[in-house]
Structure 1
Amino acid sequence: MIVKVINRSANQLPAYETLHAAGMDLRADLDAPVILQPLERKLIPTGLYIELPEGFEAQIRPRSGLAFKHGIGIVNSPGTVDADYRGEIKVLLINLSNEAFEIKAGDRIAQMVVARHERVEWIAAEVLTDTTRGAGGYGHTGVN
């Protein structure tokens, strides 16, 4: 798939780090380091602008290493970049740890997965097709 991109940062374009990786790392585009205090959230710019084809979205997801080692996540995870959005991709990070965390220019702050999606056409109904699971949810499996 070919996607148009404008890179206004000094960072390299997102790239797949391994042969079978689904996501590409996004890097912080900062003039100065940003300190993220415990339970604080900040919008971190990437300097990237993309033009996705119709029927695709870019999902912005946390990086597992940042989450595990430092408690850094994404508030609206996964964030969605729609095909008609032309603004800068920014990442809404949150510090879920008890310690301040420093983000520097070029740091890998999130990963982006481009995925196809469908548009839904609703049909009003009075009943739904029955299944073995039925209406069971929230912890219903594994309970005898």
Structure 2
Amino acid sequence: MQSIKIINTSNNEVFYATEKSAGFDIAANENVLLLPLQVKKIKTGLFWKIEDDSDLLSTTAAAKLARCSPTTIRRMCAKGDLKYENVNKKILINKEHLLSYLDSDEIIDLSDKFELQIRPRSSSLLKEKLHIQLGTIDPDYTGEICIIVQNLSFKPKLIFKGERIAQGVISNIHTANNLINKKIIRKNNGFGSTGK
């Protein structure tokens, strides 16, 4: 079982407008001037985290369980062989994943997969002449959620801090089972962090 959390480091309210809303509103966390046809990335102060209810182990505890050194565990994490989280600059290993790795000698992903979709608000293009780029935030992305916006009008547009500019929809991911997984180590900055 997993819990999905939106972590809000801004002063903006993050909410679902109605009980049946599919998307939650996302606001700008900075003032941004967009010239005609200009494209900019706007910060939101939001992060997302998918938490597994399974136990997390320190590298030392994981090393004892795996009968190896903590250095070997850290190396396995760096290579993408083990699931882990960075919590207060400490690497914590997913115990369930470590056990399945030790048992089968291959990686088994036991978790459900989710994405956070970035979508425009209904009024963005019609009223504001702003194009909001559709986007996918992958479950292993740990950086700040940003919105790519283009001004489609012939006048400069000022987006104010706190102005709602997009919406986020959390959705299940279904992946093709005949494609390889290159196991690229993702960087925090997103926007091309897995390569060109």
Corresponding position of 1:141: none
Once residues 49 and 72 of structure 1 are traced to their aligned partners in structure 2, the CA distance between those partners, rounded to angstroms, is 23
> Number of residue pairs matched?
118
The residue type equivalent to 1:91 in the other structure is I
1:13-38 Cα deviation digits (max 9, x unpaired): x21101221111101111xx211111
Structure ID, larger Rg: 2
| TM-score, normalised with respect to structure 2 | 0.56
1:96 aligns with 2:152: yes
Corresponding position of 2:26: 26
Corresponding position of 1:109: 165
Once residues 2 and 67 of structure 1 are traced to their aligned partners in structure 2, the CA distance between those partners, rounded to angstroms, is 33
Corresponding position of 2:127: 69
Contact between 2:27 and 2:161, CA under 8 Å: does it hold in 1? yes
Higher helix share: 2
1:68-98 Cα deviation digits (max 9, x unpaired): 01211123x2x00010001000000011112
Once residues 10 and 93 of structure 1 are traced to their aligned partners in structure 2, the CA distance between those partners, rounded to angstroms, is 21
Once residues 124 and 155 of structure 2 are traced to their aligned partners in structure 1, the CA distance between those partners, rounded to angstroms, is 13
1:51 positional shift: 0.9
Contact between 1:25 and 1:112, CA under 8 Å: does it hold in 2? yes
What's the % identity of the aligned pairs?
A: 41
Structure 1: gaps spanning 5 or more residues: 124-144
| 4+ residue runs over 2 A deviation | none
Corresponding position of 2:140: 84
1:61 positional shift: 0.6
1:119 positional shift: 1.4
| TM-score, normalised with respect to structure 1 | 0.75
